[in-house]
Amino acid sequence: MRSSFKSPTLSVLYRSFLNYPKFLGISLVYFKSFRRIFLIRYVTLLLCAFFILIQGCAGSSPGSSVGSISELLFPVEKNGQWGFMSRTGDLKIPFKYEGAVDFSDGRALVKKDGRWGYINEFDILVITPEYQEAHKFSQGLARVKVDGRYGYINNVGKMVIEPQFEKAMPFSEGLAGVKINGRWGYVNKEGKMVIEPRYEKAFNFSDGFGLVIVEGKGGYIKRNGRMFLEPEFDWAQGYSEGLASVEKDGQFVYLDRFGEVALETDFQAIRHFSNGASAFTKDGKQGFINRRGVIIVQPEYDEVGNFSEGLASYREGSKWGFINKRGEVVIKPDYVTAVSFSGGLSIVELGGGKWGYIDRKGRFVWKSSE
C-alpha cells in the first residue's frame, strides 16, 4: 500500500483511494484515516463492495498479479446476502453471509451473526466469526481488534501478536506500522518492536523504504530504522516502482532510490507510479507521464484513477470510463464510479444503489439485485 501526506494536514493513504475514484460519492482529495468510510442506508448494499476496494489496497502493490484460485473469487450480493462468484460470473459460494470481502492469502472475510471471521476457497469456516473489526490477510497475518486494541492473527486464527496497539497497519516487507502511546513504530512478524515508536505517523514499507512523519514533515527510513532521507518534505508518497513523489522547495519531483531527483516537473500535483505511469495535474486537468517523464496521456481529463492491468479510470463530466496508455477510450464513461481493475474485473456504480462488475471490454459479468 502506498502512502502519502500533506502538511499541515496529514493525508493518510492517498494512494489507496486514488485507485477507487469517488466511490459512493466520497471525495478523493486527501484522507486522514485509512479504512472503512461507510455512509447511510444508501451505502448498506455497497458496504462490502467498498470493503473490497479499500482493503484490497492494503495487502498488495501496484502491478501485483493474481496468484491463487481463491483470489479469482469475487464477493457478490443478492437480497442482502453475500456469496462469491468466479471471474465469469458463476456463483461459487452461495449467498448466505451478512457481508464478505475478497480473498487474500487464501482467506476471505465473511460476516455472520454480526461478527467477522474467515473462510477458505471451499467455503470452510477456518476462523470463527468473533471479531467486530477484522482486516484482510497480508503476508500471512491479519489485523483484528479486540477490546479496543489491535493485534494480529495467523491464517488458522491463532493470535500471534497480542492486541496492544491503538492503531495498526498491514504487514509489508516483513514489517507493520503500529501506534502505541500516541506514537508510531514498526513490529516484525514475531511482534518485536524493531523500530521504536517515535513518529507522528508511519506508513507501509515499499521498495525498501518507509515514509514517516516528524513535526509535520515527511522523510524516509530504511528497514533497519536508519533515516534515509531527513523529514523535509511538505508532501510525499511512499516509494513505488523505484520512485517517490514529493514536493521539494515548492516543486513536485520524483526521487530515485538514492534520494536524488530523477524527474523534475512543472505540474500542480503528481502521484505515485502504477503500471509504469504516474498521474499529474496541470492547469486543472489530469493526464499521465511515463518513467522518463514523457507525457503519454495529455492532461485533458477532469479526474483520473491509477493505471491497473493496463487501464485507468477517467471522469468526463459526472461519469467514469476507462482509457489505455495511449489515451484511447476503451470503455465509454457510463458509470457513476469506476474502480481500478483487479483480477480482470472492475466494480462500477450505476446509480440508484446499483453496482456490478465489468470485464476489460466493458461487458457486465454481474449486477447487483437492486
Structural domains in the chain plus CATH codes: 4-65+169-367 (2.130.10)
Please answer whether residues 327 and 318 qualify as being in contact, where contact means their C-beta atoms are separated by less than 8 angstroms.
no
pLDDT tens per residue, the chain (370 residues)? 456 654 332 222 222 333 332 222 222 222 222 233 223 233 333 444 444 444 443 333 333 334 455 568 999 999 999 999 999 999 999 999 999 999 999 999 999 999 999 999 999 999 999 999 999 999 999 999 999 999 999 999 999 999 999 999 999 999 999 999 999 999 999 999 999 999 999 999 999 999 999 999 999 999 999 999 999 999 999 999 999 999 988 999 999 999 999 999 999 999 999 999 999 999 999 999 999 999 999 999 999 999 999 999 999 999 999 999 999 999 999 999 999 999 999 999 999 989 999 999 999 999 997 5
pTM: 0.81
Residues 321, 315: Cα–Cα separation, whole Å: 7
Residue 248 is predicted with a pLDDT of: 85
Residue 369 is predicted with a pLDDT of: 73
Phi, psi of 14 (to 5 degrees): -55, -45
Q: Specify the amino acid at residue 3.
A: S
Could you count the other beta carbons within 10 Å of the beta carbon of residue 148?
A: 8
Residue 12 is predicted with a pLDDT of: 26
CA R_g for the chain: 20
Residues 37, 47: Cα–Cα separation, whole Å: 9
Nearest to 22 by CA among 362, 331, 338: 338
Residues 30, 10: Cα–Cα separation, whole Å: 8
DSSP states of 148-185: TEEEEE-TTS-EEEEEEESEE---BTTBEEEEETTEEE
Q: In the beta sheet, which residues pair with residue 294?
A: none
